[in-house]
Amino acid sequence: MIRSAQPADTSTICELVRELAEYEQLTHQVVLEEQQVGEHLFGAEPCAEAILAEEEGKVVGFALFFRNYSTFLGRPGIYLEDLYVKPEHRGAGHGRALLAEVARLAVQRGCGRLEWAVLNWNKPSIEFYNKLGGEALSGWTTYRLTGEALLNLGQPERS
């Protein structure tokens, strides 16, 4: 079963994010705080959404996503930030159901595309996305500013 996340699910979502980071060998990058995640998902001005996969009443996976915009299409889109299913529940259709629900929401909301990123070494996920019709984009390199670089660029210029 797929359902929308509720405020009471915040700690579960944070736990799943930590499990995802461990799987991706990126635990050293996880600094999230449960209160902030709750505010960002369920506060006065939510900036992301989450849906959960359940099996026998227990959460076994999640998808977290947010709106973006394509100037070329002149339409909104959805960026899938995280898609994760607990290892012992993989192969049961939960990942497909989560991604299908995000795609359904994209279509319902008039979005022109659904995008996500996958680590180059993550062959099981790449195969999964390929089977669903996902297309790997060549010719694009993802850039990111974080930490000190973001702070430096975001500082007002002094004259």
Residues annotated catalytic, as ranges: 129
Edge-first strand listing for the sheet containing 113-116: 2-4, 49-55, 58-70, 75-85, 113-116
Q: In this structure, what token pair is assigned to residue 43?
A: 């506060």
Q: Specify the DSSP element, H or E, that contains 79.
A: strand 75-85
Q: How far is CA 156 from CA 106, 146, 151, 152, in A?
A: 36, 17, 10, 9
How many Cβ atoms sit within 10 Å of the Cβ of residue 125?
Answer: 18
How far apart CA 106 and CA 109 sit, in angstroms, is 5
Please enumerate in sequence order all residues whose Cβ is within 8 A of that of 149, keeping only pairs 6 or more positions apart, or say none: none
Check if the beta carbon of residue 147 is closer than 8 Å to that of residue 52.
no
Coil/strand/helix, residue 100: helix
